[in-house]
């Protein structure tokens, strides 16, 4: 399994970590633009030193019930940070965005991947993503961040999510995006109950069997709070446990806030997984 980037191929025989870099106003102290960009760059640098293969830069909070961000605001948050990281660090920057203008500008500044929690369903997103030519992660969400946790229902969560992702894959391929540029993600916590999330985590192998790299984002999510009773800042152990299970079940990329610890956790999971086929 591999992903084709414009200037390199990323092998995925060893699972890797995508470090989360939120550039929403509440994520860095508001000490002016230079300080904000500098703080984000230092955080990215730390994650690269800790072993992150990707830095996922996002300027729109997709927490349940979060406010909608304008295109201009998102561009202003994301672009200076993408520009700084691409200039200073040797890492693949992924754009956690659904906004076509952010995709176009971000790739122009050097970003190497699009990571869209709306799987390019926003108007114009498919054509811009196809045009800019970088790999794309398609994530499943039921509903919108504003409504997604209002009683989500599935006939069968694994089959329903797989079907949706394959439909999105078909649309992207019809727009000219090669298979080697697509990554899929069941979207933990996006329009799912705890039971749905647990089933998806247990059945990650079903997504791996579709033949695309699989990304899993579970770090600090509320499903872990529901299981452990812990607040968001106290979910490291739970996050590592979930990351290890995802990799043990075949996930290729784990999206995480705590990069160093996650790198170690998934090394253990990957080693056990490998011993199975040896
Ligand atoms: C995910 C994401 C995820 C992908 C967020 C949070 C919410 N992108 N962006 N997968 N989650 N691909 O980190 O709690 O699970 S934002």
Domain ranges of the chain: 13-277
Residue range 49-55: average pLDDT? 98
Q: What is the pLDDT of residues 55-107, one digit of tens each?
A: 999 999 887 777 889 999 999 999 999 999 999 999 999 999 999 999 999 99
pLDDT at 31 over 70: no
pLDDT at 277 over 80: no
Residue 22 forms beta bridges with which residues?
58
Q: What is the pLDDT confidence band of residue 276, given thresholds at 50, 70 and 90?
A: confident
Q: How far apart are CA 60 and CA 193, in angstroms?
A: 23
> 162, 220, 221, 235: which is the annotated catalytic residue?
221
Q: How far apart are CA 229 and CA 223, in angstroms?
A: 10
Output the pTM of the full model: 0.96
pLDDT for res 24:
84
CA of 117 to the centre of ligand 1 (A): 7
- What does pLDDT average to over the chain? 94
Which contiguous run of DSSP H or E holds residue 19? strand 16-22
> CB neighbours of 49 closer than 8 A, spacing ≥ 6?
none
Q: What is the pLDDT confidence band of residue 147, given thresholds at 50, 70 and 90?
A: confident
Asked if residue 230 lies in contact with residue 238, where contact means CB atoms within 8 angstroms, the answer is yes
pLDDT for res 260:
98
C-alpha distance from residue 56 to each of 26, 114, 157, 229 (Å): 17, 9, 26, 27
- 20 CA closest ligand 1 atom index: 13
Q: In what order do the strands lie in the sheet with 182-185?
A: 182-185, 136-139, 113-116, 92-96, 54-58, 16-22, 253-256, 215-217
Q: Which backbone phi and psi does 106 adopt, to 5 degrees?
A: -60, -45
The residue to mutate among 117, 189, 254, having the most atoms of ligand 1 within 8 angstroms of its beta carbon, is: 117
> What distance, in Å, lies between the first and last C-alpha atoms of the chain?
18
Q: What is the pLDDT confidence band of residue 27, given thresholds at 50, 70 and 90?
A: low
pLDDT at 169 over 70: yes
Q: Whose CA is nearest to atom 10 of ligand 1?
A: 217
pLDDT at 258 over 70: yes
Q: What is the pLDDT of residues 204-247, one digit of tens each?
A: 999 999 999 999 999 999 999 999 999 999 999 999 999 999 99
pLDDT for res 26:
66
The residue to mutate among 139, 233, 252, having the most atoms of ligand 1 within 8 angstroms of its beta carbon, is: 139
pLDDT at 30 over 60: no
Torsional class of 154: left (φ above 0), alpha (ψ -120 to 50), beta (otherwise):
beta
The highest-level CATH class for domain 13-277 is alpha beta
Candidates 156, 152, 159, 162; CA nearest to 185 is 162
pLDDT for res 96:
97
């Amino acid at each position: 399994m591999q992903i084709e980037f414009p200037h390199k191929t990323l092998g995925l025989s060893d699972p890797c970590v995508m470090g989360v870099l939120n550039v929403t106003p509440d994520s860095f102290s508001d000490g002016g633009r230079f300080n904000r960009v500098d703080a984000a760059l230092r955080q990215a640098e730390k994650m690269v030193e800790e072993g992150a293969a990707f830095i996922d830069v996002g300027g729109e909070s997709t927490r349940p019930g979060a406010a909608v961000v304008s295109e201009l605001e998102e561009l202003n948050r994301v672009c200076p940070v993408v520009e700084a990281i691409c200039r200073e660090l040797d890492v693949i920057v992924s754009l956690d965005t659904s906004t076509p203008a952010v995709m176009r500008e971000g790739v122009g500044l050097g970003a190497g991947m699009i990571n869209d929690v709306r799987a390019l369903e926003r108007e114009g997103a498919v054509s811009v993503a196809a045009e800019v030519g970088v790999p794309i992660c398609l994530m499943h969400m039921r509903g919108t961040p504003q409504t997604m946790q209002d009683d989500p229902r599935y006939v069968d969560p694994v089959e329903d999510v797989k079907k949706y992702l394959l439909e999105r894959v078909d649309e992207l391929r019809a727009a000219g995006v090669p298979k080697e540029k697509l990554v899929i993600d069941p979207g933990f916590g996006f329009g799912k109950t705890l039971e749905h999330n647990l089933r998806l985590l247990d059945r990650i192998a079903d997504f791996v069997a579709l033949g695309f790299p699989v990304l899993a984002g579970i770090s600090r999510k509320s499903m872990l709070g529901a299981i452990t009773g812990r607040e968001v800042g106290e979910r490291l152990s739970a996050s590592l446990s979930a990351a290890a299970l995802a990799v043990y079940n075949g996930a290729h990329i784990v999206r995480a806030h705590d990069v160093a610890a996650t790198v170690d956790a998934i090394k253990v999971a990957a080693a056990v997984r490998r011993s199975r086929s040896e």
